Chain A
């Protein structure tokens, strides 16, 4: 047929393309394209009908121009016309154009869908395939909506050709991945599974991809595929290399299909049916056996195909983790690969072994390869392989080989690639901590680590070593000695100086007896490093100096001299200057016993999850989790179990404090330096764990350190937990009835008016942390009950009740908690709160549990106050005063004049007002001393607008400072309640 031969050529297109290629410059190319576009436009103008051939040719040209990067805004209609052609080439070009150029929101989509529908219902398999490919290529939501019902029907219909089935399966997979909600499961699902039995291997391969994807979402629906897959697999594995003809790839029967089958099986647990399981094990064994056979071909494709199946089989074995025999064999097989010539194989072997190491059956087997792995770490040329080797070493480490592995990793660290150093450092630090039998070894290791790779030692690592040293009396002396020695090196890393400063500041006295490390020598050593360090380190060193004054009064003169020097006391850095000034004053004014109290040795840190581990987890993806879980178990050995959840709660509570540095400033300016409270010691702990932005990760935080020293003067800050409340033992009423609320619960309530998170309650047994969030009239509160003892709480039960009319004002729903709280553990409870209308009282929380047989009964008020439902409203001054005047009726206003119980610090006040939930309006009040806020209280019944004005007389003498608080709202009860609540805050 002449048309066909003409269609093959498309000379015009060839000429056009060669013209473009011959263009000497970009401008010439653009000119040529413009000319061609004008030509095509005049052809498409619609005066005369074009024949299919020209249409195809011009559409092709447009496509080519588009692919060169120019915009095409016409020709879609012609392309759609091509779809209805009966010639394959024309149809193909039409579909090509549409899958490349038509975006999903095009108006033409209806026409296109119609054409596709026609092709799908035609009996011509090529046309059906073209249509399916187009759907898959576009893969838009509209396509899915139009065809998600049709394609499964084609897929499972008996009379569909094999090639169409293949396309249909893959097309459906694409649609499912793009918009899973549109592909509905139905009766076709069971028939899809039976495609695994299809005669045609291509159909099986295509179908299995679909099934794997579907079954990972709905494993139950596709459960039957396991036995089918096993039988299919066994048929392939047992077949001779010639049986499958087309599907034999370099003497390996159907390698892709086998891999996919093995991957599908990894979606499911081991088959329960004994026969199926036996058959599967047999298959896996055959695969392992085949790996031992001499290769049938020297070609790389042969070994690649074979190894692909083998690795997939090994991951299945690891996934099942129930066949010790197979696991060990797999491990041995991988061991062989460890020394293979092929780098990729070594990489894969190391990676798979990493997962094998976490299985209890094969852990020992993996350990036998330690020498090879260490060797790989040292000699491997590819950094990614070395990384895997390091991972594997980390995974295979246990008590027996920890010292060796840590030593090897440390020695490797000196030459390691920069890209993996930080991770290596973390791993060494974790292993050292996890398997430390002897703490002096641990201290040595970490100090070595800082010496070798100081730049890569993250904060967490040295925080952790300090935590451990402080918590362990037996290593403190040794640590001080080692640090002292390490600092004597002429060049030491700044992290080393930090550790040194901290430890000598705390425990320098333990080595002061030796004349070689007398106090003055220690001080001089530290001070010799001072000028080389960055500001945070200098700040830490200054704190260490003041601690020296306490430890060794004989150094006082020297240190005061240093503090007094202009470079400290007039330092341009505010932090350093402030420390210098305050420490100088502290050391000269305070008496020795006051000094001793303020600068007391750090109390032990609360046991908590190793911060380093958290860091490593963050660094790595979920892939590393299996190993980490184990870490969690073993960590207990070292630290005697800690409350991880507690950390989380504290971390959460930190999140809410407006800005730690701002608070810190607030603290400092509230009171002069003199005067301490007796509870300083215990206060330190609390502040330590709460202050500072990174308190989650570590205790030794500079900010925390400083605020610890300042805390005594500023126990009123919202940041500091007043332990005075919790130290007084709560009345433990031995009755089943809810106890009356604790006397201090009102006070507790007030503490939470301006903040959402913190510690609600604490006694010797129990700590309750709270974290809450509010949106409009809804709130959610997380309560964390931490068992502080080592004995479990039995029949732990909490109830929340709304007394009196509160029932109709507040809707509170609680989830029940586990009745058992293990020693040191923490449980969480979620409470959902809905505010129906404004309220005054707070709901009651009653906690009952048995501790060592005795019934504990505690009642508290939940800190739910009306202001929590504030929505901040920003408005301009004019707006504000207009509304203020509108609310002028006497009952709408509530006013209180009260004495300031705390200092009048601007930042603290602002933070409190913001914490209240209102918007703090700047530049509204003519008097800049005053504070003006606006907000809307959202309840289900109504919205209550609320305006607030706080006028302090800051100029008055301390002690006579007063506030006038005025509130206006559209509802009298609200004004009164908010006014009452707020009056307690200042």
Chain B
């Protein structure tokens, strides 16, 4: 279990230090600072073992969060907790920065007391936490209110309190995906996968029972055996790309989802927490729609010159618009000058990053654009050949590259008198680039 948790600023000064177990001494704080933050070589691994003590760290802007343990813990659990911790802090005071942490240190200690007990993670649902950990100081609470909080936190549905009322019952669903790719110069896909999340923001009264449906292959196939005609129709109307179902490699759910029901009949039903929550996370590797294709062309002209031409092609419906496109073309370490010509967008040689950065604001589907650059090189006496790092790309597209479609989200609230039809539902798809690289 987690033995302690430290938060450092960029200089390695300790901002927050909370120790849960006796096996973690004061010196652990310094050990991490010396061996990781101030390490001569940048530490890449998120897990560092120093003198039989394991340090798990995440970095948010200039802030280091480090969980420490001497035991053999589940590393994934620790990181999940650290991410959760970041989410909770963001929900409470916004951006995680040194100043914010210093201003809210009492709050953070209070939170740490609540969400970790003797190193075991507890309820870290922001909604639930906000009911009893507030920033506005002590608000006099009546006996009933207090007992209500207690019964909620210790009850079966710890993430939602009773008696929520909205005039308008509204529901927002965001399908956020990041697509990762590694492609060979000849256009062969070496590896590709999509990791996605379904984020739900709900403003619903009472204790609504929700049911979420998507074009999961297993479900579709199963239903296809039963009532094929109905589903086939639904499939046709939903799958704009022509793809009817997708194979999900693995997925995880928010704690509110009834896993037993998912295991038995693969249906996702739950009582959502009030406000925002991440309903599920999933990963797919098959039949990914790659939004962009990068075609590199690198030619070495003698020892002192390099010609680079990069073409990008957008590969989706022409009606859709991709945004925030950025192509990063690495330059050799002995670059002494760069001339760039591009038709669209802006391109610039950034010496501090050893790369040419080409930015395009918007680009419609089925289009093509190109950049060409002449790179002058300084002859060196180093025999090492340039390693040619891959060209990477960033973008945002308004569809899900995995092909995932939300088929339905039904809301039942038997006690209150609103039905599924009264709920206003919004669905949005956003596909972003993860590590999207093409070798050159």
Contact = CB atoms under 8 A, between A and B. Distances in A.
A25 to B, nearest CB: 5
A294 B51 CA distance: 54
A16 interface: no
A736 interface: no
A503 to B, nearest CB: 45
Contacts of B10: 24-25
B42 A106 contact: no
A943 B381 CA distance: 48
A35 interface: yes
Interface string A29-65: 0011011011101101100000000000000000000
B340 to A, nearest CB: 15
Interface centre among B62, B333, B376 (most CB of A within 10 A): B333
A39 B334 contact: no
A418 interface: no
A614 interface: no
A69 B40 CA distance: 9
A74 interface: yes
Contacts of B140: none
A438 interface: no
A26 B42 CA distance: 8
B378 A74 contact: yes
B337 interface: yes
Interface stretch (B157-165, B261-269, B350-358, B422-430): B350-358
Contacts of A41: 334-336, 378
B381 A42 contact: no
Interface bin, chain B: 20 to 34
A386 interface: no
B381 A106 contact: yes
A72 to B, nearest CB: 9
B319 interface: no
Interface string B364-385: 0000000000001011111010
Contacts of B335: 38, 41
B12 to A, nearest CB: 11
Contact of B354 (A25, A34, A39): A34
A32 B350 CA distance: 11
Contacts of A31: 352-353
Interface string B234-258: 0000000000000000000000000
A108 interface: yes
Contacts of B40: 69
Nearest to A73: B382
B160 to A, nearest CB: 41
A42 to B, nearest CB: 5
Nearest to B38: A26
A45 B381 contact: no
Contacts of B353: 31, 34
Nearest to A30: B352
Nearest to A76: B381
Interface string B318-362: 000000000000000111110000000000000111100000000
Contacts of B378: 41, 44-45, 74
A45 B336 contact: yes
Interface in A8-35: 24-26, 31-32, 34-35
Interface string B4-16: 0000001100000
Contacts of B352: 31-32, 34-35, 38
A108 B381 contact: yes
B381 A107 contact: yes
Interface centre among B11, B351, B376, B382 (most CB of A within 10 A): B351
A25 B62 contact: yes
Contacts of B337: 42, 45
A93 B378 CA distance: 22
Nearest to B61: A25
Interface in A711-730: none
Contacts of A42: 336-337
Contact of B334 (A25, A32, A74, A107): A74
Contacts of B382: 73-74
B385 to A, nearest CB: 12
A226 to B, nearest CB: 50
Nearest to B43: A26
A45 B351 contact: no
Interface centre among A32, A45, A107 (most CB of B within 10 A): A45
A31 B10 CA distance: 16
Nearest to A38: B351
Contacts of A45: 336-337, 376, 378
A73 B334 contact: yes
A798 B289 CA distance: 93
Nearest to B351: A38
A158 B337 CA distance: 54
Contacts of A38: 335-336, 351-352, 354
Nearest to B355: A34
A267 to B, nearest CB: 44
Nearest to A43: B336
Contact of B351 (A25, A39, A73): A39
A492 to B, nearest CB: 35
A42 B379 CA distance: 12
A24 B334 CA distance: 26
A315 B354 CA distance: 62
Contacts of A32: 352
A38 B349 CA distance: 10
A34 B351 CA distance: 6
Contacts of A35: 351-352
A76 B379 CA distance: 11
B179 to A, nearest CB: 25
A106 B42 CA distance: 30
B62 A24 contact: yes
Nearest to B378: A41
Contacts of A25: 10, 62
Given A24-B10, A38-B335, A45-B337, A74 B351 contact: no
Interface in B1-53: 10-11, 40, 42
Contacts of B384: 73
A32 B351 CA distance: 9
Nearest to A27: B42
A71 to B, nearest CB: 8
B380 A74 contact: yes
A76 B10 CA distance: 35
A73 B42 contact: no
A25 B8 CA distance: 13
A42 B377 CA distance: 9
Contacts of B354: 34, 38
Nearest to A108: B381
A107 B11 CA distance: 42
Given A24-B62, A32-B352, A35-B351, A73 B336 contact: no
Contacts of A34: 351-354
A35 B10 CA distance: 22
A405 B333 CA distance: 70
A76 B382 CA distance: 11
Contacts of A44: 336, 378
Contacts of A26: 42
Nearest to B42: A26
A25 B351 CA distance: 18
A24 B384 CA distance: 31
Nearest to B354: A34
A745 to B, nearest CB: 65
Interface centre among B11, B42, B62, B378 (most CB of A within 10 A): B378
25 contacts: A24-B11, A25-B10, A25-B62, A31-B352, A31-B353, A34-B351, A34-B352, A34-B353, A35-B351, A35-B352, A38-B354, A39-B351, A41-B334, A41-B335, A42-B336, A42-B337, A44-B336, A45-B336, A73-B333, A73-B334, A73-B381, A74-B334, A74-B378, A74-B382, A106-B381
Given A45-B336, A45-B337, 10 more contacts: A24-B62, A32-B352, A34-B351, A35-B352, A41-B336, A45-B376, A73-B380, A74-B334, A74-B381, A108-B381
Q: Which 7 A-B pairs have the closest CB atoms?
A: A38-B351, A73-B382, A31-B352, A41-B336, A35-B352, A73-B380, A45-B336
